[in-house]
C-alpha cells in the first residue's frame, strides 16, 4: 500500500532523537532562556507527528502506548496540583517556590516548582496537539 | 397579626381547603361550606359600625418588608367599611345564589369556589390596605381571579376570548397604577395613603404630579370600565351569572371608584382642575355612551353590562364634581352634595344591579335563553322574579319611591351646580354636564323599560324557549328578593338606615367638611324634579316609538367601534412584531456579523467623536528600521493576496506567509518565545486549513469569481479605520508608566528565573496559563468528540 520509504524512515529515526533532545532542552531551559513548557510541548508533539508520518499509525500505537487524551488531562491535573501544593504550605494558590541543591551528577542545580507546573503545561500541549491530529487523520 | 388581618386573609386560607371539602364531602354542595366565610366576615365587619360612626378609625399594622417601607397596614374607615360590607354582604348572597345556580354534578365546583374566595379576599385587601404596594398586590389578584372566573367554562371559545380581553385591559391599567404609585413614592417617600395625605402640598406642587395622577386614573378607569376601556365588561358576561352579579356589577368594577374616592383627599387639591375635568368629564361621557349603547343590545346580560358601565360613569362623574368642593369655602359648601350622591348611588347600584343580574340568571336558567327577542310574557310564570325585576329596573330608571330616584335627584342637583362653578373653565364646557346627564338618564329609562317589558311583558312564545318556565327553587329567589327589598327599604328610609354611614364615608373621601345627610323624597319644585319628569315623559315616548328612531345606531360605522379597534389591534400587534423580527432575524450569519460590526463602528466611533478622543502624538514613537518597513510591506501584500485571490488555496498559502512574517517581526522586535511559538502554531494551523480545503466539495474549491459587495467593503473599511484610530489615539494618550519595571527587577531575585516571559507565564501570572492549557485540553477533546461521536450518522446506519 505505502510506497517504499526507507529513506524517510531512516532519517526519521535519527531526526526524532534530535527533535526530542531539542524539545527537552527547550523545556528544561525555559526558566532562563527562550523556551518553556509550551514550545517544548509543541516540538515534542512535532516529533510524534513525524513518527506517525513515517510509520503506520498502528505501528506507532503499538510502540507508544499512550492515550493522548488522558495525557492532556494529566497535564491539566498536574498544573492544578502544583497550585494546590502552595495552598498546603499556607500560601496562596499557585505560589511557586525554588531552591538550589547539590545533585550527584548535575552539581549545583536550581530546583523549582515552576518546572512541575511547566511539565503540566507541556503534557497538556502534547496531548492536545497529537490528539487533534490523530482524530482528524483517523477520520474517514 | 390582628383580627383585622385575619379577616382579610381568611378567604385565602379557606380557599386552600375548598378542594379538600369538595373531594371528601361529595354529597354536600361545596357552596354551603363556603357560605360561612362571607357571612362570618359580614357579621364581623358590621360590629365596627358604631365605632366608626363616632368618627374613629381602626388601624392595624403588620410588618411585611420593613426595609422597603412596605407594611401590611389594614385601615378601617368609613370608605373601607362600606366596601367591606358590600363585598361580604353581596358575597354571601351570591354564594347562596350560586348553590342553586350551579349543578354539583355537572360543574367543577372546587375551582369555582376557590376562585371566588380568592377574589373575595383580594377585594377585601384592596379596600382595607393603607399601603399602596399592598393595595396593588391585591389589585392584581382581583384581575387575576376575575380572569379565572370569566374563563370558568373554558371549553367555550367566547369565555376564553372575554377572559383574555379583560385580563389584557385590566392588567394594562394595573401596571399603569403601579407606575403612578412609584411616582408618588418618588415624590413623597412613602407608600402609606395616610402619610401621603399629610404631604398634599408637596405632592400637588411637584413636577411629576400630573404623571402620577394620569397613571393612577388609567388604573382606575380600566378597572371600572370607563370610556374607552369599557369594552371588556360586555365580553366578561360569558362568566357564570353569579360571577357577573358579584364581580361585574357590585364589587370589582367598583375598585376603580374606590381608588378614585380614596385618592381624592390627595389629588383634589390639584389647582389646575385636571382631576375634576378628567374624572367628571370621562365619567359623564361614559354615562351617556353606556346608556346609549345599552338600548340596542338584545342580550339581557349585555344590557346590564352596558348599564353597569353607564352607572359607574355616573358615580365617577359625581366624585369628580365633588372634588371641586375643596376649592370653595368649608362652610355651606354646595358641592359636597355630589360626594354624598356618589356614595349613596354606589350603595343603590350595588343593590339593584345585583338583583337584576340574578333575575337575568333566573330567566336564563328557567327558559334557556337570554335573548329578549325570544323572551316575553313571563309575568305569569315567574311572578316573584318579575316583581324583583320591576323594582330593580324602576330604581335603575330613577322612578319614585325607590332608592334610585333619590340618588338620581341628587345626581341632577350635583350636575346643575356644576354650572355655578367659576373655576377650571367650567363656564364654557361645563354646560355639557347637566345635558349629558339628562340625555343619559333618558336612555337609562328606555333600556330599563326594555329590560323588564321585553322579558316579562308582551306575548308568551313557548316555541322559542327550551324549557317550560316556572319559578326557580327558593334558594335562588332569596338573594334577589333580599336585594330587592333593600332597594325598597333604602328608598323609604334612607336617612335612618344610611345617613350615619354615608356621612362617615363622605368624611373619609373629603375630610374637614361638615356633612349633614338629609335625603328627602320631596324637596319642592326645583329643576331636578322637572328634569326627572322630562326623563320619564320623553323616555316613555321614545320607548313607544323605538322602531322609528332605532336606525340611528346604523349610522355609526361598524368599523369604527372600539371592539373592532381592539380586535384588529391584537392581531396587528402580532403581525407587526412578526414583521419586525423577520426583518432583521434573517438566519444568515453574515447579517448578524454586519449588525455587530456596524454597531461596533457606530458606537465606538460616536463615543470617540463625542468625547473628542482622536489624538495623534508622535513624541513617543520609536525609530522605524528598514526591516520593519520591509516586513510590514510583506504583510500588506499577503493580506491583499488573501482578499483578492481567486483560489482558496492561494489564500491559505498567503495566510501562512503572513503568519511567518509576523513571526519574523517578533524576531525583529526581540520576542524569541513568541517567535518560536508563532512559527510552530502557524505551521499547524496552515496544515489544518489545507486539510479543510482538501475535504471541500469539488465545486467549492475554486470558485469562479468572488462577488464584490459594497456594503461589506464599507463595513470592513470602517472597522479597520476605527480600530486604527483607536490604537493611535490610545498610544498617544498613555496616562501612566508601564508596570514592567517591576518584572525586570523581580524576575531573578524572588522568582528564580532569567527568562522574563516564562517567569511571568508560570510564576507571576500562572493562573492565566492554567486556564489556557485547560482551554487547549477542552479544544482537543471537543475535536475528538465532534469527529468520533456522530450520533446522527450512526443512527442513519
The pLDDT of residue B645 is 85
Q: Taking CA atoms, what residue in B is nearest to A23?
A: B676
The pLDDT of residue B794 is 60
Instruction: Give the pLDDT band of residue B299 (cuts 50, 70, 90).
Output: confident
Nearest-CA distance from B133 to chain A in Å?
49
Q: What is the pLDDT of residues A48-58, one digit of tens each?
A: 888 888 887 78
pLDDT at A97 over 80: no
Verify whether the Cβ–Cβ distance B773 to A73 is below 8 Å.
no
Q: Which of A33, A46, A135 shows the shortest C-beta gap to B788?
A: A135
Nearest-CA distance from A133 to chain B in Å?
9
According to DSSP, the β-strands at A98-103 and B58-65 are unpaired
Least confident of B74-78, B112-116, B422-426: B422-426
Percentage of chain B modeled with pLDDT above 70: 95
Which whole number is the average pLDDT over B670-693?
Answer: 88
The pLDDT of residue B724 is 93
Residue A106 Cα distances to A101, A115, B739, angstroms: 10, 16, 37
Q: Which residues of B touch A46 (CB under 8 A)?
A: 680
Strand partners, B70: B65
pLDDT at B15 over 60: yes
pLDDT at B615 over 90: no
d(CA A28, CA A116): 11
Q: pTM (2 decimals)? A: 0.81
| Averaged confidence pLDDT in chain B | 86
Instruction: Give the pLDDT band of residue B790 (cuts 50, 70, 90).
Output: confident
Nearest-CA distance from A125 to chain B in Å?
7
Q: Which of B676, B761, B769 shows the shortest C-beta gap to A34?
A: B676
pLDDT at A20 over 80: yes
Q: Which of B677, B753, B774 shows the shortest C-beta gap to A32?
A: B753
Q: Which residues of B touch A98 (CB under 8 A)?
A: 751-752
CB atoms closer than 10 angstroms to residue B550: 12
Which whole number is the average pLDDT over A14-40?
Answer: 89
DSSP per residue, B610-675: HTT------TT--PPPHHHHHHHHHHHHHHHHHHH-SSHHHHHHHHHHHHHHHHHHHHHTT-HHHH
In degrees and rounded to multiples of 5, residue B73 shows phi and psi of -100, 120
The pLDDT of residue B521 is 59
Query: Is the distance from CB of B492 to CB of B404 less than 8 angstroms?
Result: no
* Complex-level ipTM beyond the 0.90 threshold: no
Q: Which residues of A touch B774 (CB under 8 A)?
A: 76, 124
Nearest-CA distance from B170 to chain A in Å?
58
pLDDT at A1 over 60: no
The pLDDT of residue B41 is 93
Verify whether the Cβ–Cβ distance A129 to B783 is below 8 Å.
no
Q: Taking CA atoms, what residue in A is nearest to B688?
A: A133
Nearest-CA distance from A42 to chain B in Å?
7
pLDDT at B705 over 70: no
Least confident of B153-162, B248-257, B651-660, B666-675: B248-257
Verify whether the Cβ–Cβ distance A83 to B766 is below 8 Å.
yes
d(CA B451, CA B299): 9
Looking at per-residue confidence, does B697 or B579 come out higher?
A: B579
The pLDDT of residue A60 is 83
Instruction: Give the position of cell 375598585.
Output: B255
Q: Which residues fall within 8 angstroms of residue B738, CB to CB, at 6 or more apart?
A: none
Q: What is the pLDDT of residues B539-596, one digit of tens each?
A: 888 888 877 777 777 777 666 678 888 888 888 999 999 999 999 888 899 899 999 9
Least confident of A38-47, A110-119, B337-346, B605-614: A110-119
Q: Taking CA atoms, what residue in B is nearest to A35?
A: B673
Q: Which of A34, A75, A128 shows the shortest C-beta gap to B755?
A: A34
The pLDDT of residue B702 is 66
pLDDT at B216 over 70: yes
Query: Is the distance from CB of B257 to CB of B346 less than 8 angstroms?
Result: yes
Query: Is the distance from CB of B393 to CB of B356 less than 8 angstroms?
Result: yes
Q: Which residues of B touch A47 (CB under 8 A)?
A: none
According to DSSP, the β-strands at A98-103 and A107-112 are antiparallel
The pLDDT of residue A4 is 73
**How far out from the chain centre does Cα B551 lie?**
37
The pLDDT of residue B332 is 67
Q: What is the pLDDT of residues B63-77, one digit of tens each?
A: 888 888 888 999 988
Domain extents for chain A? 6-138
Between A and B, how many CB-CB pairs are < 8 A?
Answer: 125
Helix or strand run (H / E) with residue B73:
strand B70-76
Name the interface residues of B facing A (CB cutoff 8 Å): 672-673, 676-677, 680-681, 684, 688, 691, 751-755, 757-759, 761-763, 766-767, 769-770, 773-774, 776-777, 779-781, 783-784, 787-788
B703 CB burial (10 A radius; 0-12, 13-18, 19+): exposed
The pLDDT of residue A48 is 87
| Averaged confidence pLDDT in chain A | 84
Q: Which residues of B touch A37 (CB under 8 A)?
A: 762
Looking at per-residue confidence, does B664 or B545 come out higher?
A: B664
Q: Which of A31, A83, A136 shows the shortest C-beta gap to B770?
A: A83
Which whole number is the average pLDDT over B772-795?
Answer: 83
Q: Which residues of B touch A30 (CB under 8 A)?
A: 755, 758
Verify whether the Cβ–Cβ distance A117 to B766 is below 8 Å.
yes
The pLDDT of residue B425 is 66
Q: What is the pLDDT of residues B524-542, one digit of tens each?
A: 677 888 888 888 898 888 8
Query: Is the distance from CB of B338 to CB of B417 less than 8 angstroms?
Result: yes
Which whole number is the average pLDDT over B151-163?
Answer: 91
Verify whether the Cβ–Cβ distance B767 to A93 is below 8 Å.
yes
Q: What is the pLDDT of residues B235-284, one digit of tens each?
A: 899 889 999 999 887 788 899 999 999 998 888 887 777 888 888 889 99
Q: Which of B752, B755, B777 shows the shortest C-beta gap to A112?
A: B752
Q: Which of A35, A79, A110 shows the shortest C-beta gap to B770?
A: A79
Q: What is the pLDDT of residues B620-631, one digit of tens each?
A: 788 888 999 999
Verify whether the Cβ–Cβ distance A121 to B773 is below 8 Å.
yes
The pLDDT of residue B126 is 93
Amino acid at each position: 500500500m505505502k510506497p517504499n520509504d526507507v529513506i524517510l524512515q531512516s532519517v526519521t529515526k535519527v531526526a526524532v532523537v534530535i527533535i526530542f533532545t531539542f524539545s527537552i532542552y527547550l523545556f528544561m531551559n525555559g526558566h532562563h532562556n527562550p523556551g518553556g513548557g509550551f514550545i517544548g510541548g509543541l516540538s515534542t508533539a512535532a516529533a510524534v507527528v513525524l513518527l506517525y508520518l513515517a510509520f503506520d499509525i498502528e505501528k506507532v500505537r503499538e510502540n507508544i502506548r499512550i492515550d493522548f487524551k488522558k495525557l492532556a488531562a494529566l497535564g491539566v491535573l498536574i498544573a492544578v496540583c502544583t497550585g494546590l501544593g502552595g495552598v498546603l504550605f499556607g500560601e496562596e494558590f499557585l505560589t511557586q517556590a525554588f531552591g538550589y541543591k547539590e545533585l550527584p551528577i548535575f552539581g549545583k542545580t536550581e530546583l523549582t516548582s515552576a518546572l512541575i507546573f511547566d511539565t503540566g503545561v507541556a503534557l497538556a500541549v502534547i496531548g492536545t496537539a497529537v490528539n487533534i491530529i490523530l482524530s482528524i487523520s483517523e477520520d474517514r | 397579626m390582628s383580627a383585622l388581618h385575619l379577616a382579610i386573609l381568611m378567604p385565602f386560607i379557606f380557599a386552600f381547603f375548598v378542594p379538600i371539602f369538595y373531594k371528601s364531602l361529595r354529597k354536600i354542595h361545596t357552596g354551603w361550606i363556603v357560605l360561612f366565610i362571607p357571612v362570618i366576615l359580614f357579621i364581623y365587619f358590621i360590629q365596627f359600625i358604631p365605632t366608626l360612626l363616632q368618627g374613629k378609625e381602626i388601624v392595624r399594622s403588620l410588618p411585611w418588608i420593613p426595609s422597603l417601607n412596605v407594611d401590611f397596614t389594614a385601615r378601617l374607615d368609613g370608605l373601607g367599611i362600606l366596601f367591606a360590607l358590600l363585598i361580604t354582604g353581596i358575597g354571601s348572597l351570591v354564594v347562596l345564589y350560586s348553590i342553586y345556580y350551579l349543578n354539583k354534578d355537572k360543574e367543577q365546583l372546587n375551582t369555582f369556589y376557590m376562585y371566588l374566595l380568592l377574589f373575595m379576599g383580594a377585594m377585601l385587601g384592596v379596600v382595607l390596605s393603607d399601603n399602596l404596594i399592598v393595595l396593588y398586590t391585591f389589585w392584581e389578584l382581583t384581575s387575576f381571579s376575575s380572569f379565572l372566573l370569566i374563563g370558568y367554562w373554558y371549553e367555550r371559545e367566547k369565555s376564553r376570548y372575554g377572559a383574555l380581553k379583560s385580563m389584557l385591559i385590566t392588567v394594562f391599567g394595573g401596571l399603569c397604577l403601579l407606575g403612578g404609585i412609584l411616582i408618588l413614592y418618588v415624590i413623597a417617600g412613602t407608600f402609606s395613603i395616610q402619610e401621603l395625605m399629610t404631604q398634599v402640598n408637596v405632592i400637588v406642587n411637584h413636577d411629576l404630579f400630573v404623571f402620577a395622577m394620569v397613571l393612577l386614573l388609567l388604573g382606575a378607569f380600566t378597572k371600572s370600565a370607563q370610556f374607552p376601556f369599557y369594552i371588556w365588561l360586555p365580553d366578561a358576561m360569558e362568566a357564570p351569572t353569579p360571577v357577573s352579579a358579584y364581580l361585574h356589577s357590585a364589587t370589582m368594577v367598583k375598585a376603580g371608584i374606590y381608588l378614585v374616592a380614596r385618592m381624592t383627599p390627595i389629588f383634589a387639591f390639584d389647582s389646575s382642575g385636571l382631576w375634576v375635568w378628567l374624572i367628571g368629564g370621562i365619567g359623564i361621557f361614559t354615562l351617556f355612551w353606556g346608556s346609549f349603547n345599552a338600548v340596542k343590545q338584545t342580550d339581557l346580560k349585555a344590557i346590564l353590562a352596558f348599564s353597569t358601565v353607564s352607572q359607574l360613569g355616573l358615580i365617577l362623574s359625581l366624585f369628580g364634581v365633588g372634588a371641586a368642593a375643596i376649592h370653595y369655602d368649608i362652610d355651606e359648601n354646595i358641592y359636597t352634595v355630589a360626594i354624598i350622591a356618589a356614595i349613596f348611588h354606589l350603595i343603590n347600584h350595588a343593590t339593584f344591579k345585583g338583583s337584576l343580574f340574578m333575575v337575568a340568571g333566573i330567566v336564563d336558567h328557567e327558559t334557556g335563553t337570554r335573548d329578549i327577542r325570544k323572551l316575553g310574557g313571563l309575568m305569569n310564570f315567574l311572578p316573584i322574579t318579575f316583581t324583583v325585576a320591576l323594582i330593580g329596573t324602576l330604581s335603575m330608571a330613577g322612578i319614585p319611591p325607590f332608592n334610585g330616584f333619590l340618588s338620581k335627584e341628587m345626581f341632577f342637583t350635583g350636575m346643575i351646580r356644576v354650572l355655578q362653578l367659576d373655576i377650571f373653565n367650567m363656564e364654557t364646557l361645563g354646560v355639557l354636564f347637566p345635558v349629558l346627564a339628562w340625555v343619559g338618564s333618558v336612555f337609562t329609562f328606555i333600556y330599563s323599560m326594555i329590560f323588564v317589558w321585553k322579558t316579562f311583558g308582551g306575548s308568551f312564545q313557548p316555541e322559542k324557549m327550551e324549557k317550560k318556565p316556572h319559578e326557580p327553587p327558593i334558594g335562588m329567589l332569596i338573594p334577589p328578593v333580599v336585594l330587592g327589598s333593600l332597594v325598597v327599604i333604602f328608598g323609604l328610609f334612607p336617612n335612618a338606615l344610611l345617613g350615619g354611614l354615608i356621612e362617615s364615608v363622605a368624611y373619609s373621601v373629603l375630610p374637614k367638611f361638615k356633612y349633614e345627610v338629609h335625603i328627602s323624597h320631596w324637596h319642592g319644585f326645583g329643576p331636578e324634579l322637572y328634569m326627572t319628569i322630562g326623563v320619564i315623559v320623553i323616555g316613555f315616548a321614545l320607548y313607544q316609538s323605538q322602531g322609528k328612531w332605532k336606525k340611528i345606531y346604523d349610522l355609526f360605522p361598524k368599523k369604527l367601534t372600539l371592539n373592532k379597534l381592539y380586535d384588529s389591534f391584537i392581531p396587528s400587534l402580532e403581525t407587526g412584531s412578526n414583521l419586525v423580527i423577520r426583518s432583521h432575524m434573517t438566519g444568515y450569519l453574515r447579517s448578524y456579523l454586519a449588525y455587530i460590526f456596524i454597531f461596533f463602528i457606530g458606537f465606538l466611533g460616536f463615543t470617540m467623536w463625542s468625547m473628542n478622543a482622536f489624538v495623534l502624538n508622535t513624541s513617543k514613537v520609536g525609530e522605524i528600521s528598514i526591516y520593519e518597513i520591509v516586513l510590514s510591506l510583506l504583510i500588506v501584500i499577503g493580506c491583499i493576496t488573501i482578499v483578492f485571490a481567486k483560489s482558496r488555496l492561494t489564500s491559505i498559502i498567503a495566510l501562512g506567509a503572513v503568519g511567518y512574517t509576523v513571526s519574523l517581526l517578533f524576531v525583529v522586535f526581540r520576542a524569541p518565545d513568541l517567535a518560536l511559538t508563532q512559527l510552530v502554531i502557524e505551521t499547524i494551523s496552515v496544515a489544518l486549513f489545507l486539510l479543510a480545503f482538501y475535504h471541500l466539495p469539488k465545486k467549492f474549491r475554486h470558485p469562479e469569481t468572488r462577488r464584490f459587495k459594497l456594503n461589506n467593503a464599507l463595513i470592513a473599511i470602517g472597522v479597520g479605520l476605527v480600530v486604527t484610530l483607536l490604537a493611535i489615539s490610545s498610544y498617544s494618550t498613555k496616562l501612566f508608566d508601564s508596570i514592567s519595571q517591576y518584572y525586570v527587577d523581580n524576575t531573578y531575585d524572588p522568582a528564580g528565573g532569567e527568562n522574563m516571559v516564562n517567569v511571568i507565564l508560570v510564576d507571576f501570572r500562572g493562573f492565566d496559563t492554567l486556564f489556557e492549557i485547560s482551554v487547549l485540553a477542552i479544544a482537543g477533546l471537543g475535536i475528538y468528540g465532534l469527529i468520533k461521536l456522530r450520533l446522527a450518522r450512526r443512527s442513519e446506519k
